Structure 1
Amino acid sequence: MDQMEVVQPKFTKLLDGMMGAEGPVFDKDANFYMVAPEVEKNGRFAGQVLRIDLKNSKSSILCEPVVDGEGGIPAGCQCDKDNVLWISDMRLGLITVDKNGDFKQICKEDKTGRTMQGCNDCTFDYDGNLWITAPAGKIAPHPYERSMEEPFGSVYCFTSQKEMLLIDTGLRFPNGIAVLHSPDGRPQTLIVAETPTKSLWAYEIQGNGKVGQRKLWGKLPGDTEGGPDGMDFDEENNLLVAHWGSGFLEVFGREGGSPHTRIKCPFSRTSNLHFRKGTKEVYVTEHDSHGVWKFEWQRPGKLQYCDIISL
């Protein structure tokens, strides 16, 4: 294996001290949002979707999702072309939130009638399909379970036809998720992080909600606790992966394997990352101080689904 390059860019802390830090995302109007999944009130889950004022380094609560008296654990976030936020939630499954903070649970069962599992992260492909990791057990009101030891974690696709399809299961805490597109913009490969095994799995995308068999795509280095969390592509299809517990972001080429570059962070528990549209700015969330930081990468990020006008 070739020697990995280690780089240490300048990180700027934008905000810290929140109740949690995950799911950074920009909407179509360049407003910045994230989620705080770890909040509890009176012994009950009370996770938050946060609106972040980057200019003034302030956060405000957009909503605290509750369904049938059960509070949520929002863990991932994406924006669609209507400027609606889609939230993957460990207790509530999949919810949407508009700019006024009004939220809606999308479904309680998949297409076959099976109870949804709690969700962690999500990503849109350019065809408008939302791919979702689900490392938790059945959604509320069922008991809260996580697949860190027993491999019952799953992957879903909420298709552009509004069908919730279970596409794979048998994973140990599937976490971050990303889609590699072909040069002409077709969804090509789904990549799923399995945190405890430090593995990145790939599925050939064969259509809306249809994939081939799971294959090992990449492996994170080291023997520290933790593993891959959130991820995002740059414009040359390098995949930047948050390596929770290591203090690094790992950078893989489009063919996977081992990372060719490690980005040293000023914190260890890196949770997720997201590019600002049309820039080299990368926004990183972390659990050391429950903060959000930014740094400049070598190239801009790949356009998100909400930013695509035509292909």
Structure 2
Amino acid sequence: MKNLLVTGGAGFIGSNFVHYLMEHTDVSVTVLDKMTYAGNHASLEGLPSERFELVVGDIADAAVVGPLTERADAVVHYAAESHNDNSLHDPRPFLDTNIIGTYTLLEAARRYGRRFHHISTDEVYGDLELDDPERFTEETPYNPSSPYSSTKAASDLLVRAWVRSFGVQATISNCSNNYGPYQHVEKFIPRQITNVIDGVRPKLYGEGLNVRDWIHANDHSSAVWTILNKGEIGQTYLIGADGERNNKDVVELILTEMGQAADAYDHVIDRAGHDLRYAIDSTKLRTELGWTPEFHHFEQGLRDTIAWYRDNETWWRPQKAVTESKYIELGQ
């Protein structure tokens, strides 16, 4: 695979994957991105023009998707509407992008016989009780709880159907919560970091006991590249780095790492239907494909992330005021 089409490559996780490819491989990359509020030209600045191209377009537009797929060796599908709060406010864009967009890409991959890798989320499995000793595996039944996670579950099932019914050469990965460079300041960790930088007290949903399984975006990127090269067609692989932390602990760790009192935050009204706990068992990925994360400890990755936001204020500053005004309207 020398030429990849990466959908959503101007977004958070997709742009980290593009940077990973530029640094660790010799492949050429075409990014297809609609450039909604979540896409950012600045996330792709400085990439070598001889190996990188950005195409602004919609993954649901077959006339755009077809030619790009034809000239690629493989499609890596990151593009998605992914913000839970937004999906509760207006679900329709999530159906258009996550379901119709994935269908359009699968049809192009089918037509041109291209390798396809689909990026999904652990949220398709619903949530676990806080005291449940189990973790999600590839065999866990789907039980999505929001318009976002239900449309991602639907897109996963489309991929499985196109593999079985049409022989599309596809794999799926479901990953735990990502953090790291280039993440929009509406998201939990960068919002807290940038609030502290601005001298604003962080905000915590409810009591903050909801647990997420965190993974640095660089580790997600290396896992996807591993699956793309070594994964068995038709298989699903869960990506996680054993980073379970509840939201309260994460906020307090951010404050402590940034030289603030650990309790210098405010509680806000909890999100409707807020999932309790996610936890990933990535044994299959590690044992069958030999993948291991670089950031073995969440604290290590969080320090790296705090440093990036401190050093790259020009990247996140233009987003900050608009994002906070929206949260103020929501009372959060």
Structure number with higher strand proportion: 1
Normalised to the residue count of structure 1, the TM-score between the two structures is 0.31
Structure number with higher helix proportion: 2
Q: Who wins on radius of gyration, i.e. which is larger?
A: 2
Normalised to the residue count of structure 2, the TM-score between the two structures is 0.30
